[in-house]
Amino acid sequence: VTHLSEIQLQAFVLGMTGPNETDVIREHVSTCPTCAMRLTEEARLELLIQDVIGDLNTGSVPSTDSVPLLKVSRLLEWRPAWVSAVFLTMAVVFWLYLARYHPVPITAEDTYVPDDYCLFVGGQVDRIGLQAEFPDSAQNRTDIRP
Amino acid sequence: VRPRGEESGWSDVDLAEQALSGSEAAWDEVLRRHRHHVVVALLARGVPLEDAEDLAQEAWTRLIEQARSGRLERLSLPWLAIAQAGWLALEASRTKARHAAIAGAPVSLETHPDALEVKDQSLDPAEQTLQRDRVRVIEQELARCSKRAQDIFHAVYGSDAKSHADVAKELGMSVQRVRQTLCEVRARLRRAMDERVGEP
């Protein structure tokens, strides 16, 4: 029995055979279990190669030689986010610096207190008319009105 | 059968959109480009060639009918057709097993529908180990091939799979040379798998 050659089987699986050659292969494998099995094996190899190459291209099967923990290229993909984060951090630090070392100057206008309010030392505010009971702090009473 | 993926200018995504919008020319191109892939996928599942060609034809017919009736929202090429053909193969296998049971004939493991399902889902641990071995051997053997051979393989089998003619043009060689390289490397992979799969 003359079997199909490996080249013929490969050519068929790769879609490289013309109509006449395809007919010959079709006819042969319909009566030859050996070549039918070989054709199945060639088809399985074809799918396997497609899977392997596809995985290599999408990077789902990384090389086991050296896999860096952190890829610079991956970080660069997030460049806009990194730049935004740096600017935001700088803005917060600058604002904290201003708040700490350059408090907003108090002017007379800023410290205007209505006539019926006064400020007790310790930060407690009371309305004069209510006669709040702070006997001990009476002498510490400070009027900050200009 | 024509060579896989000849030039048409359309990507698979564009082609799928055109086909879903009802373009006959797009469907012709889809069939020309992917019909053979579906047949090969069925062959790999152990479906005989003649049945594989019939089932592939039936799968494409159903997809086209679904698209025309507006029941197909997305067309992933060629995976949807392969899935449809696989389902049809399973149904055909079950029908054959039912008929055999009704006729009183013994149902072999090969024709039993459950056997096909187990094979499809690759749930068999031994089969999974073998598959991992095959993948390992192919990766190693491909890495040993020449740079030019690797370029050809990546271009032909990559995510944006190109036709042999496109690959030849891109790499500056003849179509015949591209195909010869594919066959040589495939033969090399086959030998490596025969020799080394199953080795520790």
Option in B1, B48, B49 nearest A17 (CB): B1
Of the residues A6, A13, A14, A46, the best mutation for testing chain B's interface (the one with the most B CB atoms within 10 Å of its CB) is A14
pLDDT tens per residue, range A67-99: 344 444 455 566 778 888 999 999 999 888 888
Gap between the Cα atoms of B141 and B57, Å rounded: 35
Gap between the Cα atoms of B42 and B127, Å rounded: 18
pLDDT tens per residue, range B62-72: 999 999 998 88
Q: What is the Cα gyration radius of chain B?
A: 20
Gap between the Cα atoms of A82 and A72, Å rounded: 13
The answer for B 70-109 residues in CB contact with A (under 8 A) is: none
Contact A61/B135, CB-based, under 8 Å?
yes
* Both structure tokens of B55: 């089932």
Name the residue in chain B with its Cα closest to that of A50. Answer: B157
Of the residues A30, A48, A55, A61, the best mutation for testing chain B's interface (the one with the most B CB atoms within 10 Å of its CB) is A48
B145 touches chain A (CB under 8 A): no
pLDDT tens per residue, range B72-123: 888 888 889 999 999 999 998 888 888 888 877 655 545 444 444 435 555 6
pLDDT tens per residue, range B104-114: 765 554 544 44
Gap between the Cα atoms of B157 and B151, Å rounded: 10
Q: Are B44 and A43 a contacting pair, CB within 8 Å?
A: yes
Whether pTM exceeds 0.80: no
